Amino acid sequence: MATTRFILIETSHAGNVGATARAMKTMGFHELVLVAPRWPNVLRREETIQRASGANDVLAQARIVASLDEALDGVDHLCATAMTPRDFGPPTRSPRAHFESLCKTQTAPATAVAPPHIAFLFGSERFGMRNEDVYRCHVCLSIPTQANFGSLNLAAAVQLMAYEWRQALGGFQVPASATASTPTPQAASAQAVAGMLAHWEAALTDIGFLDPQAPKKLMPRLNQLFNRAGLTQEEIHLLRGIAKAMQQSAQTSATFTKRG
């Protein structure tokens, strides 16, 4: 498993640092390095802690350094993140395409091969990535966005990058309890559907929507609609309840009409 480092360069908003910590933790990453942030005490600021939403352990072990050189110590593969490609410098690729080539999966996700220590660089909210910083990288990763509006919040960009990288490394399994707790609904039988349709035919006749003398193809069409829906037994009960309510409404209207 590759060791992953997220590096924020000259971050100007404390909230983005906290949101970045949260984004990293949700994807199982914990190594955060800040290069010359605007606030020297950014890791302890109230806004940072609030936006971290419980990812305090990521903040607690985060490092603040004075230069990018210090932040890159020990890194084997360096990825810039920038919306605008540079005329000179590393190739520009989408994260997913680059990660697929970076992690050569053999027989299972657990066998993915990746550089021992990979780092992602994120520029300042004010001016993005400097050219000289991008030129130091092996690749420039650009998140595909709408052509005329590609501006992403810093923490949102971190979340997307962390998600794509985690998926390339094999992803996370959905906990069994998340699916086992919801029982599979019982499918309605053909007999139950036929009974419900007969009930609906009577109800639609009562409210004047269906003319028994000229029914056309209303009921066969409803039959096909409900077959495509793949109704459950509980849904049959619901639909029959609606039919019953329509009949009761028609009877009430008829009673008032006679009295009038």
Tell me the pLDDT of the chain averaged across its residues: 88
The yes-or-no verdict on residue 110 having pLDDT over 60 is: no
The yes-or-no verdict on residue 85 having pLDDT over 70 is: no
pLDDT above 70 covers a percentage of the chain that reads 88
**Secondary structure of the chain: what % helix, strand, coil (to 5)?**
50, 15, 40
Task: Please identify which residue in the block is written with the tokens 């940072």.
Answer: 48
Starting at the earlier edge strand, list the strands of the sheet with 92-93: 63-65, 31-35, 3-9, 117-122, 77-81, 139-141, 92-93
pLDDT attached to residue 20: 97
Q: Which is it for the CA torsion 203, 207, 208, 209, positive or negative?
A: negative
pLDDT attached to residue 147: 80
What does pTM read for this prediction? 0.68
pLDDT digits (tens, 9 = 90+) for 41-75: 999 999 999 999 999 999 999 999 999 999 999 99
Distances from the Cα of 40 to the Cα of 37, 66, 97, 122, 205, angstroms: 6, 10, 36, 18, 76
pLDDT digits (tens, 9 = 90+) for 226-259: 999 999 999 999 999 999 999 999 888 877 767 6
pLDDT attached to residue 192: 93
The yes-or-no verdict on residue 216 having pLDDT over 80 is: yes
